[in-house]
Structure 1
Amino acid sequence: MTDGSRTFTTTETSFAVVHAIENADGATFSELKSQLQLSKSTLYYHLTTLEKLGYVVKERGVYQLGLRFLSHAQHAKNKEPAFDVVRSKARDLADRIPEEISFATEENGRLVVVYHNIGGSAMTDFKIGQYLHMHVTASGKMLLAEKPEERVDEIIDRWGLPKFTENTITDRDALKAELELVRERGYAINDEEQREGLRSVGAKITKPNGYVLGGLAVDGATYRMTDEQIEEQTVEQLFDTIAEIEAELD
């Protein structure tokens, strides 16, 4: 059993194998052994167990993730019916503007991507289910701004403020000052803080009971997402879509 800080090493290893296979889009035994630096017997044990349970399949010497994961993904996807409303309206927005649209929510102090549509560009490499640090994304900063300072400190203590670009906010006090600005204007901006050449604008989606469902963001190239574009068009488009979403939420 765990005591809140300890975990099962075998469980962590099995998930490390799963993640390695996913990130490589399939890998041979030798490739996994080299990447994970596990002994042959340890890697064989985990692969055999995962294969027996249907989470991994072996095709022509290459290990791939099994379809068993689909049932878990479907269960997670359907746990919040409101996500379907968000996806529908986000697709409509993506059809109207030449930018990427993403929707993400917070889970255990990180941002998890629930929906992503590349629209007319492909500036990000977001994947559904991908976890991101909150301090480098527009939606993440928006959601952090909704939390009490004690919770923000807990998230920083756990995940840190790693640097991704020269614009990344890596100082705790500077981030808190940024979050205060987010609260004042009602939306957040990612100004090349996660990836050079990418700017994003994000705002929260709130259910009728006051629960913050997540953040909807518009992501695009810096030469298109100028301050003028953001202030005169993007923010309005974003808020209009969020209003449509919130009008349909129970």
Structure 2
Amino acid sequence: MARVSNKPKSSARTTETSLSIVDAIRDLDGATMNELSEYIGLAPSTIHRHLVTLREHKYVTQEDGIYRIGFQFLTVGGYAQRKTTAYPMIKEKVDSLAAETGERAQFIVEEHGERVYLYTEVGQSAVQTGAHIGKRGVLHTSAAGKAILANMSRERFDETIATRGLEQVSENTITTREELAEECERIRERGYAFNRQETTDGVHAVGAAVTDSDGEVIGALSVSGPAHRVKGARLTEELPERVLSAVNELELYIEHSVHT
């Protein structure tokens, strides 16, 4: 059973409840009012009041007694996506990487110490990994995420690790600050990061951070594929070269856009 968490007194309880209902609808992949009541631990009458408001604002739909997430979230998310610096060029580069490599390509951004998939595309030979636009995850298990961590200030790096922790997602996941710091130093030296089955068994990836003219990280590009195919020189030479080339073009575009 999911319950509304105990937030500081400054947190608006009504908003907290509405968001908990939205999360529950997502977790349950659609639910009746009674199912939501049981899952969250609130009275059906309370759930109903929130659902009425969420429906009025198109964040929730209802059909045959089943409540589902509404496309209003897509409207808002699409706005956030398009407002990201250089998004049209990011999309172009991800599409190109997917077509050139035949694998899955993606661009992630960091928010609240997590990685968020801003845009992803699959090539002809790509395997399904469950990655999709808007999906969140920890930074330290992915190539793109580690590339972002490597370009953070030491203070921001330590804050992120302290807040998010170093969850072990697979047997290859880095789980200590010291090991992660050493890995980030290697990433800074070569300019790109590897993910060797650290997120998903059987999947390798290469990623590199994209920064603006002030050196601030905007996000990171990466290409991922099955370990039996993304290995050897393809993993350590070909894909890094392609990813870095795309990153360089993106950064030049961003710098040019700022000064025009």
Report if TM-score (shorter chain) is over 0.5: yes
Moved more, 169-178 or 33-42: 33-42
Match status 1:84 vs 2:88: yes
Match of 2:135 in 1: 130
Match status 1:98 vs 2:98: no
Q: Percent same amino acid at aligned positions?
A: 37
Q: Distance in 2 between matches of 1:69 and 1:229?
A: 39
Match status 1:197 vs 2:189: no
* Amino acid in the other structure paired with 2:138: H
CA contact (8 A) 2:108 2:116 kept: yes
Distance 1:163 1:38, change over 3 A: farther
Cα shift at 1:39: 3.0
Match status 1:110 vs 2:110: no
Distance 1:158 1:205, change over 3 A: same
Q: Mind listing any 5+ residue stretches in structure 1 that lack a counterpart? A: none
Match of 2:4 in 1: none
CA contact (8 A) 2:127 2:226 kept: no
Match of 1:162 in 2: 167
CA contact (8 A) 1:123 1:221 kept: no
Distance 1:203 1:5, change over 3 A: farther
Number of residue pairs aligned between Structure 1 and Structure 2: 248
Match of 1:64 in 2: 68
Q: Mind listing any 5+ residue stretches in structure 2 that lack a counterpart? A: 1-6
Q: Distance in 2 between matches of 1:122 and 1:23?
A: 25
Moved more, 24-33 or 78-87: 24-33
CA contact (8 A) 1:100 1:220 kept: yes
Match status 1:207 vs 2:212: yes
Determine which of 39, 49, 57 is the counterpart of 1:45. Answer: 49
Per-residue CA deviations over 1:167-206 (Å, capped at 9, x if unaligned) read 1111111111111111111111111111111111100122
Q: Distance in 2 between matches of 1:156 and 1:42?
A: 37
CA contact (8 A) 1:114 1:129 kept: yes
CA contact (8 A) 2:85 2:218 kept: no
Cα shift at 1:52: 2.5
Per-residue CA deviations over 1:100-134 (Å, capped at 9, x if unaligned) read 10101111221111011122323421221222111
Q: Distance in 2 between matches of 1:233 and 1:61?
A: 53
CA contact (8 A) 1:123 1:220 kept: no
Match status 1:27 vs 2:31: yes
Root-mean-square deviation over aligned CA pairs: 2.1
